[in-house]
Structure 1
Amino acid sequence: MTELRDAVVTGSLPFPRRPRPNLRSGTPAGSRPLLARVNAVAVLLLALDCAAWATAVVRTAPGPAGAAVTAAALAGARLGGRVHRRRLWLSWLQDLPRSVTTAALAFALVTGVGIVAGMDGNRTAEMQEVVLFSAVLGESVRPLVFALGRWGRRRLRRCDRAVVVGSGHLAGELVRTMLEHPEFGLLPVGVAVPAGDPAPAGLPIETIGDDLTEAITRLRAGTVILAPGDDRDSAVVAAAISAHRAGCVTLVLPHLFELCPDGPGVDRLRSYPLVWLGGVPTRRPSWWVKRFVETALAAAALVVLMPVIAGCALAVLLESGFPVFFRQVRVGMDGRTFLLYKLRSVRPSGVDDSQVRWSVAGDSRVGPVGRFLRKTSLDELPQLWNVVRGDMSLVGPRPERPVFVHEFSAVHDLYWARHRVPTGLTGLAQVHGLRGDTSIADRARYDNYYIANWSLWLDVKIIILTVGELLCRRQR
């Protein structure tokens, strides 16, 4: 216990040794060459839509206002419908319903704008004609773009280098399919199979050991395909996180893939359905919006709530003296430690067990002021400073002490995965009642669900639920 405590104080406590990616040393996405991340077919489809719109505008001459409205409607509908997305299966017939739907939506949008803006019937008809003509012209050329893409993949080997992770049989079948059908745009360069499974025989590619991140970098892979088979979910998640950290596109062959229907986010490698996994939230542009807004809100809240914090600090001082603030080492994103600030709710004693004692529920050292602060969560207000400093976010998995991160990561398979994003002042687990001495496995599941489904709206919902929970708690 003394050794553990010393490690906690110095911040040198390591994560347990288990098969997972090194979150600190993952290769950044920016290390891949820019041209390797550009999809030629997607660029050609976007250029085709722009050219079709420009031709329709020149032909119809709807005026500057009409041109602007049609451009906005087409761009919004086509980009929202993801008709220019990167894809494996280059099939015009497969994509036709989506393309027609987006054109119909753009037609409805320009019609609605014409009615709401009170445009005369001729101007509205001209905008409708632009949308219809550009759609017809674009669709007449799109089959040629798809055919050109398939030809380039087969003859010029314009394929993304791919690594397959999974059971020997499934991995081997996927690799053989990619080798025999390069028109799907994947060139297998490595295969990683779990320990104990036989490596696929007779394949002209490398068998990868334990370090997937190193292999991705060395083989210059841009896509990782997960074919889990009978692997544990934790091993599959570890491989997915390694791929995300290396900036790779990640595709998953689902269980019962023979019954998996086509749908949003599902692509095809011949008869194999592959699900596109979203990357880590911290690489999305909306994450920078989250960071900016949360920093501004936290700074404003610190200023507004300073009298409340000062009043609470005075109450702590009168009850049990100095110090009024409490500092504790917590684990944040990528396993980095930081000092978390709280108002002290436990009377000082000769023994500091704050780093190794899980809960103070029922502790005689918690006085009336401390109980009130903990019940109302007012003791957490100084953590707004941690948000301003960038140690934490307003919303995210709650940070834990290093010794318990070590313990929980050794017991719960995917507890370590919650450190892919910054920790938060409140989180999805907390608004579902997982506070204090509650299930760690449930917390980890909620935290990983939050990361996988993160959006700005999800953060807003969590903040609203947090405020509601605090109000209800104060009334009890």
Structure 2
Amino acid sequence: LIGYDARSEQFINTLQTKPNSGYELVGIVTETADADDLGVQYLGEGQNILEIVQKHRLDTLFILSPAVPNDAILQILHVCEGVPVQINVLPELSEFIIGGNAITLFEGIPVLQLRETPMQGVSGIVKRLIDIVFSLFALIVLSPLMLTIAVIIRLTSPGKAIFRQERVGRAGKPFRIYKFRSMRADAEYNVGHVWAETDDPRQTSLGKFLRRWSLDELPQFFNVLKGDMSLVGPRPEMSGLIDTFSESIPHYLARQRVKSGMTGWAQVNGLRGNTSLEERISYDRYYIENWSLALDIKIILKTLWAIKKG
């Protein structure tokens, strides 16, 4: 709960006396009231909301308006853009017009939802089950091919067959992505983290073939099985580029509200590799805001068709 006014005690009492409401009150963020008097844990001040969300692993925020001014609400939306947290406002009746906003009633209390957490509930569980079943099936069926590729890589160029690199996924959590090595073992020694280009001179001869048919991505089925990634979602970015992009591209961090994917809406629309980042972000945001299992299936089918065409 963020903010304090005359409605705070009513809302807190509702949550504490109705354990089946679907919410567990972790605490309050306020600068104007003594949390001990309210019988709840004081979490900190609003300016530290991102750290509070991450520390307590919050999945929902309720903001009291107008106790929290509009500019502060906008700041909360901005700093929490990269974390999967649902943001609701508890408005006064004078602040909204019924029918003009997505107003719902929670135990008789009006709630305005500003941002929804995507891929939750039954649909989110089904998406994860599809990830597990599909990735496990792919690893079993493709294991002879993957073993063959690994052996050929070791025989044709010095270095390991599997390339590991830190990427950033859901909620800004770093993870190690797996790929078949398609470049020289020292490819990043002098240039650091940069995107690969179509005719990148750092690629090996085998690497060009692997990248053309997307075979270098096959080890990412392990990432999907582990839960680091999903079959479908925004492509994970290199950790060294996140700060730069988030400062220069509006709403860039919104893509971190969901798991990264092996393929995505941007990729099946021709935006992969060294293409317009701004355009890719717009496609990623469209996917997040319009996600459905049907859209995932559509993207998977379009990906398979693109691979078949080469």
TM-score (ref. length: structure 2): 0.70
**CA–CA distance in 2 between the matches of 1:459 and 1:435?**
18
Match of 1:249 in 2: 88
For residues 391-425 of structure 1, the C-alpha deviation after alignment (integer angstroms, 9 at most, x for no partner) is 11111111111111121112112112211111111
- Pair 222,375 (structure 1): closer, same or farther in 2 beyond 3 Å: closer
State the secondary structure of the residue aligned to 1:281: coil
Secondary structure of the structure 1 residue equivalent to 2:47? coil
Is the partner of 1:309 in helix, strand or coil?
Answer: helix
Q: Tell me the residue number matched to 2:63.
A: 224
The number of residue pairs the alignment matches comes to 268
Structure 1 partner of 2:78:
238
Q: Which entry has the higher C-alpha Rg, 1 or 2?
A: 1
The answer to whether structure 1 residue 298 and structure 2 residue 281 are counterparts is no
- Residue 426 of structure 1, CA deviation: 0.8
Partner of 1:111: none
Q: 1:176-226 CA deviation, whole Å, 9 max, x = no partner?
A: xxxxxxxxxxxxx999xxxxxxxxxxxxxxxx8534568999xxx964378
**Does 2:38 correspond to 1:38?**
no
Candidates 249, 265, 268, aligned match of 1:431 = 268
In the alignment, is the contact (CA less than 8 A) between 2:162 and 2:180 conserved in 1? yes
Measured after TM superposition, the shift of residue 243 of structure 1 is: 10
- The letter for the 1-side match of 2:78 is A
Q: Does 1:322 align with 2:166?
A: no
Separation of aligned partners in 1, 2:298 and 2:65 = 32
Aligned-residue CA RMSD (Å): 4.1
Alignment of 1:393-404 (within 5 A): 393-404=230-241
Classify the secondary structure of the residue corresponding to 1:371.
helix
Corresponding residue number in structure 1 for 2:204? 367
Is 1:451 the equivalent of 2:288? yes
> Is residue 212–residue 242 contact of structure 1 (8 Å, CA) maintained in 2?
no
Displacement after TM superposition at 1:364 (Å): 2.2
Give the 3-state SS of the residue equivalent to 1:464 in structure 2. Answer: helix
User: Deviations for 1:148-186, whole angstroms, at most 9, x for unmatched residues?
Assistant: xxxxxxxxxxxxxx99xxxxxxxxxxxxxxxxxxxxxxx
| Equivalent residue for 1:377, pick from 203, 207, 214 | 214
- Greater strand fraction, Structure 1 or Structure 2: 2
Following superposition, the deviation at residue 240 of structure 1 comes to 6.9
Contact 2:84 / 2:258 at 8 angstroms: preserved in 1? no
Distance of aligned partners of 1:317 and 1:350 in 2 relative to their CA distance in 1, 3 Å threshold = same
Q: Tell me, what secondary structure is at the counterpart of 1:363?
A: coil
1:89-168 matches, within 5 Å, as none
The equivalent residue for 2:175 is: 338
SS at match of 1:289: helix
Displacement of 1:349 after TM fit?
3.4
Match of 1:313 among 147, 150, 155: 150
Distance 1:243 1:357, change over 3 A: closer
* 8 Å CA contact retained: 1:240, 1:250: no
What letter matches 1:292 in structure 2? Answer: L
CA gap of 1:267–1:297, structure 2 versus 1, over 3 A, is same
Identical-pair percentage: 37
**Long gaps (5+) in structure 2:** 1-14, 23-27, 33-44, 106-110
1:390 to 202, 227, 236: 227
Counterparts of 1:400-415 in structure 2, within 5 Å, are 400-415=237-252
d(CA) in 2 for partners of 1:328, 1:304: 25
Secondary structure of 2:251's counterpart equals coil
- Taking structure 1 as reference, are residues 379 and 34 closer, same or farther at Cα in structure 2, changes over 3 Å only? farther
Cα deviation, residue 241, structure 1: 4.9
User: What is the CA distance between 1:236 and its match in structure 2?
Assistant: 7.0
Call closer, same or farther: CA 1:345–1:215 in 2, change over 3 Å. Answer: closer
Work out the CA distance in 2 between the residues paired with 1:380 and 1:413.
Answer: 29
Q: Is the 8 A contact 1:224 1:251 kept in 2?
A: yes
Asked if structure 1 preserves the Cα contact closer than 8 Å seen for 2:82 and 2:172, the reply is no
